[in-house]
């Protein structure tokens, strides 16, 4: 028995989950692929490969067989999926103006751009305080910021 452990990046969306591995030349037990609708070998091979990819992407276990192995099988099991990134949106308001549908995966550059383009606040300094799947904190420093239209006294 061999154990292989992968640690994929966290904060992935479900579409980006790491699939189970396939084994070249082996058949997947339980795939239930019906190839009777395909008349040529190339189309059949492509459709079967797509079905295998989808199966390995969505299943938690896969058992492989091969005539070269006799009665032997290989079983792959997903122990744990990666952490999920936050989904959704939020709004930001300042002086009666609101910007809707801001992404939860905000970056410092996007935030600085929104402050400048939507609220006219130029020169805000931002940085990542915390950037994990369940927590994104971007402090904003306004010490050197200017609001468009402001004038400073000489």
pTM over cut 0.85: no
* Predicted pLDDT of residue 63: 94
Distance, C-alpha 102 to centroid of its chain: 18
User: What is the sign, positive or negative, of the torsion defined by CA atoms of 116, 120, 124, 126?
Assistant: negative
Mind listing the pLDDT tens digit of every residue in the chain (154 residues)? 567 777 666 677 777 777 888 999 999 999 988 888 888 999 999 999 999 999 999 999 999 999 999 999 999 988 877 777 777 899 999 989 999 999 887 889 999 999 999 999 999 999 887 766 667 788 899 988 888 765 555 5
* Predicted pLDDT of residue 154: 52
Inter-residue contact 28 to 76 (CB < 8 Å): no
* Predicted pLDDT of residue 84: 72
C-alpha Rg value of the chain to the nearest Å: 26
* Predicted pLDDT of residue 93: 94
Cβ within 8 Å of residue 140, ≥6 positions away: 111, 115, 124, 125, 126
């Amino acid at each position: 028995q061999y154990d292989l452990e992968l640690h994929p990046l966290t904060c992935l969306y479900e579409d980006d989950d790491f699939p189970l591995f396939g084994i070249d030349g082996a058949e997947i037990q339980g795939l239930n692929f019906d190839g009777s609708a395909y008349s040529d070998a190339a189309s059949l091979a492509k459709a079967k490969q797509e079905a295998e990819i989808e199966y390995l992407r969505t299943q938690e276990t896969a058992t492989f067989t091969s005539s070269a192995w006799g009665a032997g099988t290989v079983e792959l099991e997903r122990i744990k999926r990666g952490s999920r990134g936050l989904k959704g949106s939020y709004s930001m308001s300042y002086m009666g103006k609101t910007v809707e549908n801001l992404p939860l995966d905000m970056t410092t550059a996007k935030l600085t751009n929104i402050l400048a383009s939507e609220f006219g606040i130029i020169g805000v300094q931002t940085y990542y305080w915390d950037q994990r799947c369940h927590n994104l904190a971007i402090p904003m420093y306004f010490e050197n910021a200017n609001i468009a239209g402001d004038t400073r006294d000489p």
